[in-house]
Amino acid sequence: MGRSTEPAQVVEGYLGHLAVERGRAANTLRSYALDLGRYTEHLTVSGIDDLGAVKESDVSAFVTALRTGEAPLAASSTARALAAVRGLHRFAAAEGLIRADVSSRVRPPSQPSRLPRTLTVDQVEQLLAGCVGDGTVALRDRALLELLYSTGARISEAVGADLDDLDTDARTILVQGKGDKQRIVPVGRPALAAVDAYLVRARPVLAAKGAGSPALLLNARGARLSRQSAWHVLRGAAEVSGLDSVVSPHTLRHCFATHLLSGGADVRVVQELLGHASVSTTQIYTHVTVDTLREVYATAHPRARG
C-alpha cells in the first residue's frame, strides 16, 4: 500500500522533513505550518483531497485567494505562503508522491517598491548635533555617526572596521561588506575631524579598559562596539534631535546615496561606494531624487501650477 497523498498527511511529512533533516528553527516551522494549513483548507474547499490532483491553476487560485479574501494578506506574506507551498510540492515530487511539481511556475505577487526614507541635509546636521559633549562616549558616538553619513557604510561595516583600516593620509577607510567583499570608501573632512578627536581624546581611555581590541570603535569596556549598541547610539541621537520617528538603522546610508545623486554623482559611482552588486539596487535612490525634482518643478514652474 502506497503512502498517503492526502494534503494534510503530506504536509505533516514535509514539516517533519524540515525539522529533522533540514534543521529548520521552531519559528520557521510554525510559519510553514500556518501557511500550509491555509493551503490544505483551500484545497478542501475546492474539493481536492489528493495532492497529486492539484493543477497549476489551483495553486494560482490559492495565491489569488490570499490576496483578495475576507482578510487579504500583504504581498510579502502571500509570497511567504507561496514559498511554503512550492516547498511542499517539491518535497512531494522528490519523494515520488506526485508525478510533477505543478507549483514551480506560479509566481508571487509583485511587491510595491518601498522608497527609502531619507533626511534633508539640514536634518542630517540636526541629527549629528544630537551627539553632544566632550566625554569619551560622546566623542565616539559623534565619530560613528559622522562616519556612517560620510561613507554610506552599513552599521555592521562601521563597527567591523579596525583601526588599521582607516587611512587618514589618503582619507579613506576599508570596509568589509556582504559576502566578505571589501571596498575602499573616501572619508570626508568633517568625519575625519570627528574620528581624530575620538582617536586622540577618547579611544585610548576606552582601550585601557580592554584587552587590546584592534577595532576602530570601542565600547565602554574596551571591546569592539556591537551593531546593536551602534544602533542605540543612532536612536539616541535621533531622540535628542527630535527625529526619532524617521530614523532607521540605514537612514544615514540612504542619505549618503540620495545626497550624492542629488549633487550630480553618477549612479555607478554611488553603486561602488555602497558596495551594491547590481546597479539596479542603487537605482531606487534615483526615484527619490526624481520625486524631489518633481516637487520643485510643481512649486516653481509657472506652467506646473493649477
- Active-site residues, by number, are 154, 178, 250, 253, 276, 285
The β-bridge relationship of strands 182-186 and 166-167 is: unpaired
Distance in angstroms (rounded) separating the CA atoms of residues 81 and 265: 40
**DSSP single-letter state for residue 104:** T
Q: Which residues contact 133 (CB under 8 A, 6 or more apart)?
A: 139
Distance in angstroms (rounded) separating the CA atoms of residues 176 and 184: 9
Q: What angle, rounded to 10 degrees, do the helices at 136-151 and 121-128 form? A: 160
Distance in angstroms (rounded) separating the CA atoms of residues 149 and 165: 17
Distance in angstroms (rounded) separating the CA atoms of residues 239 and 115: 23
Query: Contact 152/257 with Cβ under 8 angstroms?
Result: yes
Distance in angstroms (rounded) separating the CA atoms of residues 26 and 131: 41
**DSSP single-letter state for residue 117:** P
All cell numbers assigned to 50 = 489528493
All cell numbers assigned to 163 = 583601526
